[in-house]
Structure 1
Amino acid sequence: MRWIFNVIKALLLLLVVLAAAAFLLPERRLVERSREIAAPPERIWPLIAEPRRWTAWSPWYAKDPAMTLTYDGAASGAGAQWRWDSASQGRGQMRFDSAEAPRRLGYTLVFEDMGTQATGEFRLEPAGAGTRVVWMLDSQLGHNPVMRWFGLALDRLVGPDFDAGLRRLESAALAR
């Protein structure tokens, strides 16, 4: 019986150590990917600035074409917003906060299932005869130790989706 008590003490100590160690981890995580697309910014801009056009290239819509999307606000640029509800991709909302056509689009994401929020942006930069598209997500993980540990995997979880989305964005831009 004594060994059960020792195992419980060891597990509690491990939890305390993990929780304390979480506060040594970064409070903020940045995921960033880029891709050069052989199209001018003016051809790419509507694909990212108009929420209804995200279905043509979004990596998450490709994972669940049955997701429910509802739109609100402006049709494009600052003020445009939408909500999603998906069995595999969760529930949330995205709002475009700032737009400098055709160079920069800032957004806020709310992940309702996780109770978290993040900000990000798209930048379209001249690159030779085309455009370098940079996609960023900035997550503030706060004081929740679980979210801080989760942050360590954020680049591995979201980065491949950004890469896939940029490839699909390129295909959509070149198909126009």
Structure 2
Amino acid sequence: MRLLTMVLSVTTALVGVVLGGALMLSPDYAVSRSVVIQAPAGAIYQHLDSSPGWARWGVWYRNDPQMKVTNSGPAKGAGAAWSWLSASQGNGKMKLTAVEPERKVAYELQIESFAPSAGALTLEPAEGGTRVTWSMEGRMDNLISRWLAFFMDRMVGPDFEAGLANLKQLSENP
């Protein structure tokens, strides 16, 4: 009986710490990474404004070559959208919400079971080429999901870095 009481006490304390900690965490998250690509903005932009463009450099596509992608809407530009089914990368959908040719592509990303997030790839002149910044922000309202928001930069940041490295290679070596 004493062991059961101790186990229940420890379990209750752990649940209290997890939930109490979640109450103190912000539900908002932001992830951002940048790279300078030695190529003009136009050479980079052509890989950003469509689903086939993202497929050439996107790290998630490379992680699951069997990913089933379905395109919808216009072929490129604002309104271009795609959804995917993937055993290893999860299921989701993405829609380009605004474009400024050779300057910016904004998107909405919806991963199954999570609230949508907003992101953008911006292109700015930089010494030696074009600075590309990939950013994304969102909100996790569920108490347990706040822990995901807390770690989002560490979870998604490396994928952004790998994707930007792929984009750099593709743009610099067409």
TM range (shorter): over 0.9
Note the alpha carbon deviations across 1:109-166, whole angstroms, 9 max, x for none.
Answer: 1011x33321111100000241000000102111x12111112221111111111100
Does the 8 Å CA contact 2:39/2:130 hold for their aligned counterparts? yes
CA distance in 2, matches of 1:62, 1:117: 23
Q: Which residue of 1 aligns with 2:51?
A: 51
Does the 8 Å CA contact 1:67/1:85 hold for their aligned counterparts? yes
How far is the alpha carbon of 1:15 from its aligned partner?
A: 0.8
- Aligned residue identity for 1:156: R
Q: Which residue of 2 aligns with 1:175?
A: 173
Q: Which residue of 2 aligns with 1:126?
A: 125
Does the 8 Å CA contact 1:40/1:129 hold for their aligned counterparts? no
CA distance in 2, matches of 1:161, 1:17: 30
Structure 2 runs not aligned, ≥5 long? none
How far is the alpha carbon of 1:61 from its aligned partner?
A: 0.5
CA distance in 2, matches of 1:10, 1:160: 35
How far is the alpha carbon of 1:76 from its aligned partner?
A: 1.2
Q: Which residue of 2 aligns with 1:69?
A: 69
Q: Which residue of 2 aligns with 1:108?
A: 108
Does the 8 Å CA contact 1:121/1:136 hold for their aligned counterparts? yes
Does the 8 Å CA contact 1:38/1:130 hold for their aligned counterparts? yes
Query: Which aligned pairs between 1:25-104 and structure 2 lie closer than 5 A?
Result: 25-104=25-104
- Aligned residue identity for 2:117: A
Q: Which residue of 1 aligns with 2:138?
A: 139
Greater CA drift, 94-103 or 16-25: 16-25
How far is the alpha carbon of 1:171 from its aligned partner?
A: 1.2
* Identity across matched positions, percent: 38
Structure 1 runs not aligned, ≥5 long? none
CA distance in 1, matches of 2:151, 2:27: 13
CA distance in 2, matches of 1:129, 1:11: 56
How far is the alpha carbon of 1:97 from its aligned partner?
A: 0.6
Q: Which residue of 1 aligns with 2:17?
A: 17
Normalised by the length of structure 1, the TM-score is: 0.93
Give 4+ residue runs of structure 1 displaced > 6 Å after superposition.
Answer: none
- Aligned residue identity for 1:148: R
Does the 8 Å CA contact 1:29/1:139 hold for their aligned counterparts? yes
Does the 8 Å CA contact 2:35/2:164 hold for their aligned counterparts? yes
How far is the alpha carbon of 1:3 from its aligned partner?
A: 2.9
Does the 8 Å CA contact 1:81/1:96 hold for their aligned counterparts? yes
